[in-house]
Structure 1
């Protein structure tokens, strides 16, 4: 594993450090933004409208950012995105009313999403195919270090004037942009003007790439699973164990376990699976992920109905959540690797941007669908359905892997 780490390009290590530090700062703020908005505004409807702008602008930013990264380079788009984040964070320190907060949240959603397609394309540019899983796994580990430490730090400094928090985060982002400008090397492959596809050509390629379109379709169910667990799990646990207080809700322990597991095991798992067939890995990951969701749906209600002691109940739920997290860790870097491998060299940014559509669709549809079940006190049914659909996605990924492998073998013998 040490040798694998040493072989990774310098760009990857700079991004890992930046991803970790900026992740800490962003997750220090993001979980508490809704509280910040509610303090500033009189209407929860206004808060909801502001929160809804983020995913919408993120889709636009991902698609546009990916295309711009193919046209003008990875490095400038990454720097513009980071500086845009810094500017938006400074703005939050002064915004007091609905419209400024709405525009700043939209700006943050846009600029934050500009970064990722360019950054993912850069990883594909500088990494050998057999090491892509390891590179994406390392970056995901950095992201989760931020996700684990950020909220804890945010809780610790809530008593400080929030203006200073926004200023501090903005300073870190500006520093990261300067580091990118000084130390990251541009990785955009050299192409002639004739090799650069027009916008119409890009759309035509997407339309004709059936493998990519099926990949996005299968990814919608996985995205719905992530969205349900991240946004609805606390509510589901409260519904399943009605006599437990919010302080007894085991969600916080489960979330902490997820972060610890990703930090400790994401890179070794990605490294181990990096040379395995895509379809087999994704079938295993999606199946474990889906079955994990079904167990999360069933076990709390079952254990609660049996009068299981609290410590035993929490221990079993942590074991179930560890199983679910294992599926998540298997899938996440492999999904990014697959996009990098099937994307034409001159369209890697556009492919990474377009792939984000699955996360928007899943992120919007899952909470709406789940709310219908929660209204009938049947939230567990939503988890079971999406868990089963995730297992079906695994079968689809498996077939995609076989199809791509067959196409590669045909090319080698031609």
Structure 2
């Protein structure tokens, strides 16, 4: 494992450090935003609308950012995105009503999404195919160091004026932009004018790539699962544990566990699964992920109805969330590696941007879908339904993997 890490490009290590530090700051804030929204706004539907604007703008940012990264380079797009994140965070320090929160959430969704297609394309530019899973696993590990320590830090400083927290996060993002400007090298492959595709050519390639289209379709239900758990789970736990205070809400501990598990186990899992068939890995990951969601829907309400002591209740929820996180760790690097492998070299940014369509559809529909159940006191039903749909996605991924292997075998024998 040490030798694999040692072979990774310097750009990836700089990104790893940046993902870690900015992840801490974002996860210090993010888990408590939805609770703040619900306290300040009139209904869960308004909360759902705000949460849905981020993914809508993220689609625009991802598609535009991916295309710009193929035309003008990875580095300028990444820097622009980080500076935009910093400005949005400064705005959050002053916002406390519906429209400002809506606009800032949209801005953050736009700027944050500009970064990822360019950054993922950069990973593919500098990494050998057999190491892609490990590179993406390492970056996800850095992101989740933030997920491990950010919520705990957020709980510790919750009593502070939130303006200071937003300002501190904005400063950290500004410093990251400076590091990118100073130390990251551009990796955009050299292309001739003939090789540079027009926007119409790009759209035609996407429309004809059936493997990619099925991949996006299967990912919609997975993205709905991520969106509901990451954005609405604090509300679901509040609903399921009605006598608990916000300080007793277990979500921060669950999110911290998720981060710790990814830090400890993501890279070994990614390395182990790197050479396994895509469809088999995704079937296993999506099934564990979906069953984990169904357990999250049932277990908190059951334990509360039985009068389970707080420490035991939290311990059981941590075990359930660990199972859910295992499915997440199996799937995430493999999805990114699959995109990198099927994308033409001169369209890596565009493919990574277009792949975000699944996250847009899931991210928009999941909060709105879930909010309808929350308004009726039935948030657990939303979790159950999306959990079942995630398991169905696993079967689609498995079938897709079989078709890809059959096509590769046919090419080799031709």
Whether TM-score is above 0.5 comes out as yes
Report the 3-state secondary structure (helix = DSSP H, G, I; strand = E; otherwise coil) of the residue aligned with 1:195.
coil
Q: Residue 116 of structure 1 corresponds to which residue in structure 2?
A: 116
Report the 3-state secondary structure (helix = DSSP H, G, I; strand = E; otherwise coil) of the residue aligned with 2:230.
helix
Alignment of 1:20-31 (within 5 A): 20-31=20-31
Please identify, of 332-341 and 79-88, the stretch whose mean Cα deviation from structure 2 is larger: 79-88
Task: Tell me the distance in 2 between the aligned counterparts of 1:384 and 1:34.
Answer: 21
Q: Residue 253 of structure 1 corresponds to which residue in structure 2?
A: 253
Please identify, of 359-368 and 174-183, the stretch whose mean Cα deviation from structure 2 is larger: 174-183
**How far apart are residue 157 of structure 1 and its match?**
4.1
Task: Tell me the distance in 1 between the aligned counterparts of 2:216 and 2:309.
Answer: 43
Matched, 1:283 2:267: no
Matched, 1:138 2:138: yes
Q: Residue 192 of structure 1 corresponds to which residue in structure 2?
A: 192
Matched, 1:330 2:330: yes
Task: Tell me the distance in 2 between the aligned counterparts of 1:155 and 1:238.
Answer: 16
**How far apart are residue 9 of structure 1 and its match?**
1.1
Q: Residue 399 of structure 2 corresponds to which residue in structure 1?
A: 399
Please identify, of 164-173 and 382-391, the stretch whose mean Cα deviation from structure 2 is larger: 164-173
Task: Tell me the distance in 2 between the aligned counterparts of 1:298 and 1:271.
Answer: 33
Q: Residue 214 of structure 2 corresponds to which residue in structure 1?
A: 214
Task: Tell me the distance in 2 between the aligned counterparts of 1:412 and 1:300.
Answer: 52
Task: Tell me the distance in 1 between the aligned counterparts of 2:146 and 2:53.
Answer: 23
Task: Tell me the distance in 2 between the aligned counterparts of 1:133 and 1:46.
Answer: 39
Alignment of 1:312-327 (within 5 A): 312-327=312-327
Aligned CA distance change for structure 1 residues 376 and 168 (closer, same or farther; 3 Å): closer
Aligned CA distance change for structure 1 residues 191 and 94 (closer, same or farther; 3 Å): same
**How far apart are residue 290 of structure 1 and its match?**
1.0
**How far apart are residue 24 of structure 1 and its match?**
1.9
**How far apart are residue 390 of structure 1 and its match?**
0.8
Aligned CA distance change for structure 1 residues 318 and 37 (closer, same or farther; 3 Å): closer
Q: Residue 300 of structure 2 corresponds to which residue in structure 1?
A: 300
Matched, 1:153 2:160: no
Please identify, of 146-155 and 285-294, the stretch whose mean Cα deviation from structure 2 is larger: 146-155
**How far apart are residue 91 of structure 1 and its match?**
4.9
Aligned CA distance change for structure 1 residues 183 and 261 (closer, same or farther; 3 Å): same
Task: Tell me the distance in 1 between the aligned counterparts of 2:23 and 2:133.
Answer: 21
**How far apart are residue 144 of structure 1 and its match?**
1.2
**How far apart are residue 259 of structure 1 and its match?**
1.8
- Residues 34 and 231 in structure 2, CA contact (< 8 A), matched pair in contact too: no
**How far apart are residue 174 of structure 1 and its match?**
2.8
Task: Tell me the distance in 2 between the aligned counterparts of 1:133 and 1:182.
Answer: 27
Task: Tell me the distance in 1 between the aligned counterparts of 2:236 and 2:35.
Answer: 22
**How far apart are residue 99 of structure 1 and its match?**
6.8
Q: Residue 409 of structure 1 corresponds to which residue in structure 2?
A: 409
Aligned CA distance change for structure 1 residues 10 and 232 (closer, same or farther; 3 Å): same
| CA shift digits 1:211-246 (9 cap, x unpaired) | 111111111111111122223323333444445555
Aligned CA distance change for structure 1 residues 98 and 134 (closer, same or farther; 3 Å): same
Q: Residue 84 of structure 1 corresponds to which residue in structure 2?
A: 84
Q: Residue 361 of structure 1 corresponds to which residue in structure 2?
A: 361
Report the 3-state secondary structure (helix = DSSP H, G, I; strand = E; otherwise coil) of the residue aligned with 1:187.
coil
| CA shift digits 1:2-48 (9 cap, x unpaired) | 11111111111010001111222233344455688899x89889887
Aligned CA distance change for structure 1 residues 87 and 321 (closer, same or farther; 3 Å): closer
| CA shift digits 1:232-276 (9 cap, x unpaired) | 323333444445555544333322221211111111111111111
Aligned CA distance change for structure 1 residues 376 and 86 (closer, same or farther; 3 Å): closer
**How far apart are residue 160 of structure 1 and its match?**
5.2
Q: Residue 182 of structure 2 corresponds to which residue in structure 1?
A: 182
Unaligned runs of 5+ in 2: none
Task: Tell me the distance in 1 between the aligned counterparts of 2:35 and 2:192.
Answer: 50
Aligned CA distance change for structure 1 residues 202 and 168 (closer, same or farther; 3 Å): same
Q: Residue 125 of structure 2 corresponds to which residue in structure 1?
A: 125
Aligned CA distance change for structure 1 residues 34 and 310 (closer, same or farther; 3 Å): closer
Unaligned runs of 5+ in 1: none
**How far apart are residue 199 of structure 1 and its match?**
0.7
Aligned CA distance change for structure 1 residues 46 and 161 (closer, same or farther; 3 Å): same
